[in-house]
Amino acid sequence: MTDLTQVTLKNGLKVLLKEIHTAPLISHWLWYRVGSKDEPTGKTGISHWVEHMQFKGTPQFPASVLDKAIAREGGQWNAFTFMDWTTYYETMPADKIDLALRLEADRMANSIFDLEEVESERTVIIAEREGSENEPLSLLGEAIQHAAFRIHPYHHEVIGDMADLRTITRDDLYNHYRSYYVPNNAVLAVAGDFETKKMLARIKELFEPIKAGPTPPRLKRPEPEPVGEIRLTVEGPEETAYLQVSYRAPGASDPDFYPLAVLDSLLAGPSNLNMFGGGGVSNKTSRLYRALIDKGLAVSVHGGSSATIDPFLYTFVITAHPEKTPEIALAALDAEIKRIQDEPPSAEDVARAIKQARAMFAFGTENITNQAFWLAYAEMFADYSWFTSYLARLAAVTPAEVQRAAQTYLRTKNRIVGIYLPVDGGGDE
């Protein structure tokens, strides 16, 4: 697109700039190509923990002033760790964005990792982990992820395993930071009310003095082909039974990602690929809603996948009806999948599914923060052209391609079926 400027600095930092003069705001995102996929056994959760430590200060920006500084200037900020990446963002009034630029340049190189702060954060993260262990869908999802990936490092949750959270050291954290938080492993994206020439000059002034590092290490452990369906049961608190069915699915750069997105919209309602914002589109016209909710077989149904580098999972999550078993919901799910596998959906149904998926995508791109998000998010698994061509690629999907996607990926052999059964609530009914 003509309004996008792409530059790679001398130290390898990729910079993407997009002027948007609709409001006096600027959103700045800094992405690092590091996530839970880069963690060996014994260090799971370390990327997420490093993200936490990046809010604990540098000599120039002590932790006690960081939040106050952003809030005082009318800004908002946050950070997120995923399987393939870690990102930090600030959305500020346009005339205050220099604070965000200085902050991110500083903590790319100068975070302290104070030992007391490390231990304090260990307590916080362990409590977060313990909290997830009381959530039925977290327990079920983790069990399925472990079963789906025995070899590939997608097998563990972003937060990490409790055994590792108890033993990771300050030096482990700092070495991880120094290995991956280097400019040649990062992408910086800025969108909003600025002049490109001035913004690029300031970015070069702040970031280019930071030295490039060695190419960060990567774990190359491809998952072998599945040998058959896996079924598992998780028991725990609560009164509700859940069903999760996860199919191994291609990464975001695979051409099949697009027909699968349309299939998702048709079956369960469209997914929001922007996990940080955007509106919603009802799934009440989806086939699974009509087959499960309208017929009283389940309370809710949702589907979706994530844009990942390597093949991951396309998942259905169903809340069982209190008077029905999860197995009944599974049979209805299988019947709807078989229906598409046996007969391609009508052109009208596919057109509606595409329209809904396109609307969901548009909701997730409408403000300046989301525009800046998409500049570099697509760089994590493809490049910015993936974003700019996404709607056109969706619109080109045919009914035959939707059927082929269902036949190829929604096979019994290709899935993990998990049921969560409550054990201490709901009585004997």
Q: Is 230 helix (H, G, I), strand (E, B) or coil?
A: strand
Residue 281: the pLDDT is: 62
Are residues 279 and 358 in contact, defined by beta-carbon separation less than 8 angstroms? no
The C-alpha angle 298, 301, 304, rounded to 5 degrees, equals: 160
pLDDT score at 272: 77
All structural domains of the chain = 4-207 (3.30.830.10), 230-422 (3.30.830.10)
Reference 369, options 196, 194, 198, 190; nearest CA is 190
Please identify every stretch of the chain with a pLDDT value under 70, giving residue numbers as ranges: 1-2, 275-282, 425-429
Give me the residues paired with residue 219 across strands.
none
pLDDT reported for residue 427:
38
pTM given for the model: 0.94
- Residue listed under structure tokens 């963690």: 39
Q: Which of 345, 328, 342, 339 is nearest to 292 (CA)?
A: 328
Residue type, 373: F
Residue 44 and residue 216 in contact, taking contact as beta carbons nearer than 8 Å: no
Q: What would the pLDDT profile of 120-139 be if each residue is shown by its tens digit?
A: 999 999 999 999 988 999 99
Task: Give me the pLDDT at residue 65, please.
Answer: 83
Going by DSSP bridges, is the β-strand pair 415-422/242-249 parallel, antiparallel, or unpaired? antiparallel
Cα separation, 259 vs 269, in Å, equals: 14
pLDDT the model gives residue 64: 80
User: What are the CB-based long-range contacts (under 8 Å, 24+) for 137-142?
Assistant: 137/242, 137/244, 137/317, 137/420, 139/234, 139/236, 139/420, 140/234, 140/242, 140/244, 140/418, 140/419, 140/420, 141/244, 141/418
